[in-house]
Structure 1
């Protein structure tokens, strides 16, 4: 989950702020572009979502993602996963609500870079969370998350999860 662009060290992920130009962002997915250009600031101000942007050395926003608190119904998890958890009706989780890369930068590994940053932030958080949840907006997004070892929920194949304990092992093994 690292970017393949040679300027990797010059990339930075920041909390979205007024200095970030959102007007020209175009991922190729209209709903993600419209959200980023018109609604993301409101969600941030109302504490609905915490938005983060991938900023290139020239200040261009190459991508973004959002994180929010959520919960999963224990019964929605695969049986083998649910068996290992306390019998609470809801299990705390973190929602990776949106993730998009500007189409000018597709193929540079920035999606994986953003995902790795989001997972690292989830691990560093002091808020209890069993897993990171994603709602893949289409089959391409679902395949991206499955390639990153996210598992589909049994009854909703575009809703995927990855346990935080698994994510922690991933970073320990990679030395990140």
Structure 2
């Protein structure tokens, strides 16, 4: 499935996407897109999606994969409402980055919305979307988008799938 805006589209990463000039300013994220994302997709370890401008430039990307969280990691008010399973299925938003030449255009929020939409419409059970913020700026970005921190891990945040479903009703 391809999602599009007025001047871009978001689609699964493919061999035809030129990733060589992508530069978000974080070398691990740049290196991942250039060298590892395709392999992870082929091995079903992650599902990378790219935001492609109509001139073919890759302006951003994110990855989704399955994960699990321990019931004991969640805030007590949330955990009390859930069955006592030791692990809960979740979706990991593993990476999200926008090329520094394209910042300030809302692409980060659009990538996040697309990731949440794809996670919500999946036919695989998932309690929440989980993110590990790489720094304080990323943590603040996710908290502005209603993600909640794990009590003992403030850089790890979650957004319950029930809340995500409400966004798309």
- Determine if the TM-score, normalized by the shorter chain, exceeds 0.5: yes
1:79 deviation in Å? Answer: 0.2
Residue in structure 1 matching 2:79, options 63, 66, 82:
82
Question: What is the alpha-carbon distance in structure 2 between the residues aligned to residue 132 and residue 86 of structure 1?
Answer: 18
Question: What is the alpha-carbon distance in structure 2 between the residues aligned to residue 159 and residue 31 of structure 1?
Answer: 18
Residue in structure 2 matching 1:17, options 14, 17, 23:
14
User: Are 2:26 and 1:29 aligned?
Assistant: yes
Name the TM-score, length of structure 1 as normaliser. 0.92
1:30 deviation in Å? Answer: 1.1
SS at 1:123 equivalent? helix
1:45 deviation in Å? Answer: 1.1
SS at 1:85 equivalent? coil
Residue in structure 1 matching 2:116, options 116, 119, 126:
119
Q: Which has the higher contact order (CA 8 A, sep 6+)?
A: 1
Question: What is the alpha-carbon distance in structure 1 between the residues aligned to residue 86 and residue 165 of structure 2?
Answer: 25
Question: What is the alpha-carbon distance in structure 2 between the residues aligned to residue 107 and residue 23 of structure 1?
Answer: 22
Question: What is the alpha-carbon distance in structure 2 between the residues aligned to residue 137 and residue 42 of structure 1?
Answer: 22
Match of 1:53 in 2: 50
Question: What is the alpha-carbon distance in structure 2 between the residues aligned to residue 45 and residue 171 of structure 1?
Answer: 30
Figure out how many residues of one structure are paired with residues of the other and give that number.
166
Match of 1:39 in 2: 36
User: Are 2:57 and 1:64 aligned?
Assistant: no
Aligned ranges 1:125-164 → 2 under 5 Å: 125-164=122-161
Question: What is the alpha-carbon distance in structure 2 between the residues aligned to residue 34 and residue 68 of structure 1?
Answer: 19
Name the TM-score, length of structure 2 as normaliser. 0.96
Question: What is the alpha-carbon distance in structure 2 between the residues aligned to residue 148 and residue 141 of structure 1?
Answer: 11
User: Are 2:91 and 1:94 aligned?
Assistant: yes
- Point out where structure 2 has 5 or more consecutive residues left out of the alignment: none
Question: What is the alpha-carbon distance in structure 1 between the residues aligned to residue 5 and residue 34 of structure 2?
Answer: 25
